Amino acid sequence: MNKEFHFLDDGGEMGKLMREKDWSLTPLGAPEGWPQSLRTTVNIILNSPFPMFLFWGDTLKGFYNDAYRPILGVDGKHPKILGLNGAEAWAEIWKDIYPMLSVVTKKGESIWRENLMIPIYRNGRMEDVYWTFSYSPVKDDDGNVSGVLVIVTDTTEAVLAERRLRESERRFRDIANLSPMWIWITDADINVEYANNELLNFIGLSHYSEFEGQVWKSIVHPDDIELVFEGFGKAIEKQERMSLEYRVKNATTNEYEWYKIVAVPKFENGDLKGFLGTGMNIEQQKSFEETLKNEVNHRTKELANSNLKLEAMNKELQSFAYISSHDLQEPLRKIQMFAEVLMDKEYDKLSTSGKEKFVKIQSAANRMQSLINDLLSYSRTDTEKRVFEVIDLKELVADIKNDLGEELKKKHGKITLLKSCELEVVPFQFRQLIYNLLSNSIKYSRADVPPVITIKTEVIKKAKSIDPILSNTKEYVQITITDNGIGFEDQFSEKIFEVFQRLHSKQEYVGTGIGLAIVKKIVQNHAGIISATGELYKGSVFTIVLPKKQ
């Protein structure tokens, strides 16, 4: 290469294009004939890491470097504008840039523009682009302006980002000012940089710029001021989230109201820059808490008094149980004993009316004996010590069938257990439960229809679907006892489990009306449920669901 061409050495892609271009076909002529000022300037821009463009000569022909090349995009002006007249190269914006170029070429003055939007054709379309640039004169050896050096930066992304940020801040402030909550921003020293209208109106300020100095001291309740300083101090020290509840003076009413303040730290490059906070009025909540506290205290005192009364009643109940099991039963046994003696030895001497009366006396005494025994059983169901053991239902049913053998034989009845299982129960209570149910099925059988009683068992794993009080985390056993007896109307399905509730007169069926109440209480003691369904003169079904293991 001719030594005259050394100023085009290097320069990357643009240096290569300039070296390969046949400049002899242009008005500039071959590079060896270029003026020294042009050579020097071209050498400078080719080796500069900053985007540069050179307008040269009367027609402002264009030169640019590799750093400027990305500005032109793809499918645009590159590379045809290299060495092209300015008016032709930048036809679409020439009316915008030529007046600025003229200031430099005619007056020799430099100009500077920041974030100026000038469209450019690139990437196959016109694009709105923001530029920060300077136009500087390039003078020849005689001091005349021969060209304009452009140092430029495409600031479109920065401008749009700033615009988006401003729009985001505007939306944030609009939303914040519509919020019924306090919203505020501070710097790292808790100086307020922003406060929304709700907060400013509450404390009586017109603009957040007034929120400075000792404002906090004048609006926070004196008893809470130390709490506030300690809370903010700890949040700054540990650079962590803060939550406080304290009272703040309402500028309108001059009364203090409770607020809950939550603040989260904001960081920039790992450094604490301040806090973003909210405040919610909790005056009603605090008032409710105070009312609730007073109510709880009042109810606690009432409960304590009730407990004392309950203890006294329990003592009375224990006394009643003792009387029932000893003092009441002793004279009753004597009545029964003397009635039996009279029936054995004096029965024949009685008139027909007297005989009937003695039979009624004996029957009434027997009923009273049953009633006392059932009442004692019912009262002991909750108080007796519960020791759970695993039992086999088959063995228990066999034992009860043996006890009910005479009744079954008399009525030609049958009890069938279709499938046995093991479960954890209080043995003597559970025996009483099954005994009462089977005994009732025999007792309430239809005349001249042999009682047929069927017991089925099933393991249940999703028991909550049966009743919400049961758990899906336990296995349950469902025991179903079905009979063909007199049944009952479904409207009585709950009533039959209540104490002293009878669906039939004592003349029809013997009983005290406590048996099924005892059954229900035993089921509850085992954390289970019991239900009954019936159809009059067709039979009844009792369903028990108990945990397989307690």
pLDDT (0 to 100) of residue 506 = 45
**In the chain, which residues fall in CATH 3.30.450.20?**
3-156, 179-281
Distance of alpha carbon 388 from alpha carbon 546, whole angstroms: 13
pLDDT (0 to 100) of residue 80 = 92
C-alpha distance from residue 297 to each of 125, 272, 285, 305, 306 (Å): 78, 46, 18, 12, 14
Q: What is the pLDDT along the chain (550 residues), one digit of tens a residue?
A: 444 567 787 788 998 999 889 998 888 998 888 999 999 999 999 999 999 999 999 999 999 999 999 999 888 899 999 999 999 999 999 999 999 999 999 999 999 999 999 998 988 889 999 999 999 999 988 889 999 999 999 999 999 999 998 888 888 888 878 888 989 888 888 888 888 899 889 988 888 888 776 677 788 999 999 998 899 889 888 999 999 999 999 999 999 999 999 999 999 888 998 899 999 999 888 888 777 788 788 888 878 887 787 676 656 555 555 555 555 666 767 677 777 777 777 777 778 887 777 777 776 666 566 556 655 655 555 555 678 999 999 999 998 998 888 889 999 999 999 999 999 998 888 988 898 899 989 988 998 899 999 999 999 888 888 888 888 888 999 999 999 999 888 888 788 877 544 444 444 444 445 778 888 888 988 889 999 999 988 999 999 999 999 8
pLDDT (0 to 100) of residue 2 = 47
To the question of domain 384-547 being in CATH 3.40.640.10, the answer is no
Q: What is the CA radius of gyration of the chain?
A: 51
Structure-block tokens of residue 422: 């093991």
Helix axes 515-525 and 427-443, enclosed angle (nearest 10): 150
Specify the DSSP element, H or E, that contains 197.
Answer: helix 197-203
Structure-block tokens of residue 161: 């980002």
Instruction: Return the CATH number of the domain spanning residue range 3-156.
Output: 3.30.450.20
pLDDT (0 to 100) of residue 339 = 73
Cβ proximity of 278 and 262 under 8 Å: yes
Q: Which fold has domain 179-281?
A: Beta-Lactamase (3.30.450)
Structure-block tokens of residue 390: 């695993």
Helix axes 283-322 and 352-383, enclosed angle (nearest 10): 140
- Which residue type is seen at 332? L
Is 267 strand, coil or helix? strand
Is 25 strand, coil or helix? helix
pLDDT (0 to 100) of residue 3 = 47
Residue 539 burial (CB < 10 Å; 0-12/13-18/19+)? buried
**In the chain, which residues fall in CATH 3.30.565.10?**
384-547
Chain centroid to CA 4: 78
- Which residue type is seen at 130? Y
pLDDT (0 to 100) of residue 369 = 64
Distance of alpha carbon 348 from alpha carbon 365, whole angstroms: 21
